[in-house]
Structure 1
Amino acid sequence: MKSVVLLLCCLVGLSHCVLIEWTASDYPNPQEDPEACGRYKSSYVCDPNKLISKRAADFLDHILLNLQNDTKCPCSRYSCERNGYNKGYIMAIALVKKIYKPEKVKDTVDSRKALVNQFALDLLNKRWNGWDVCDEVVIIVFSKDDGILTTVSGSTPQRVLTNSITKAIQLELARFFRDDGGNVGQGLHYLTMNYRRVLDGYHYYPIMYSDVVPDSAADMIKVSLVTSLITTILLKIFC
Structure 2
Amino acid sequence: MLRFLILFATCHTVIHSGFPDYTPYTYPDSMTQSELCGQTKPSFFCDPNNIVALKKDVNKDGNETIEEESFMEKELLYIRGETNCSCLRPAMCLKSPPRGYTISIAVVEKMHLDQNETSRDSILQAAKIFADVIRDRQNRGQCDDDMVIFLSTKDKVVYTSIGSSIRIDDSVIKRISEQGEVFFKKEQYREGLEWMTKQYKHVLKKENIEKLWKWPLPEWVLVALAVLVLVVVVALLVTVIYCCIRFSRRNRRDEYSMVDH
User: d(CA) in 2 for partners of 1:10 and 1:121?
Assistant: 34
Q: 1:108 to 1:33 in 2, by over 3 A?
A: same
1:71 to 80, 83, 97: 83
TM-score by length of 1: 0.76
Instruction: Name 1:92's counterpart in structure 2.
Output: 104
User: d(CA) in 2 for partners of 1:198 and 1:89?
Assistant: 11
Instruction: Name 1:120's counterpart in structure 2.
Output: 131
Aligned residue runs from structure 1 range 21-170, under 5 A: 21-55=21-55, 58-59=69-70, 60-75=72-87, 76-80=89-93, 83-103=95-115, 105-125=116-136, 127-129=137-139, 131-157=140-166, 159=167, 161-170=168-177
User: d(CA) in 1 for partners of 2:201 and 2:179?
Assistant: 16
User: d(CA) in 1 for partners of 2:177 and 2:204?
Assistant: 16
Cα distance, 1:83 vs. partner? 4.7
Q: 1:109 to 1:185 in 2, by over 3 A?
A: same
Aligned residue runs from structure 1 range 161-200, under 5 A: 161-178=168-185, 181-200=186-205
Structure 1 unaligned regions, length at least 5: 1-8, 220-239
Q: 1:171 to 1:57 in 2, by over 3 A?
A: farther
Structure 2 unaligned regions, length at least 5: 1-5, 56-66, 222-261
Q: 1:57 to 1:150 in 2, by over 3 A?
A: farther
Instruction: Name 1:227's counterpart in structure 2.
Output: none
User: d(CA) in 2 for partners of 1:165 and 1:33?
Assistant: 32
Cα distance, 1:14 vs. partner? 1.5
84-93 or 18-27: bigger deviation: 84-93
Question: Is the 2:179–2:196 Cα contact (8 Å) retained in structure 1?
Answer: no
The number of residue pairs the alignment matches comes to 201
Cα distance, 1:218 vs. partner? 4.2
Deviations 1:16-66 (A, max 9, x none): 351111101110000001000000000000001111123478321111001
2:77 aligned partner, one-letter code = L
TM-score by length of 2: 0.70
1:14 to 11, 19, 44: 11
Cα distance, 1:173 vs. partner? 3.2
Cα distance, 1:146 vs. partner? 0.4
Question: Is the 2:127–2:159 Cα contact (8 Å) retained in structure 1?
Answer: yes
Q: 1:139 to 1:57 in 2, by over 3 A?
A: farther
Cα distance, 1:154 vs. partner? 0.4
SS at match of 2:11: coil
Report % sequence identity. 25
Instruction: Name 1:4's counterpart in structure 2.
Output: none
Higher Rg: 2
Q: 1:10 to 1:74 in 2, by over 3 A?
A: farther
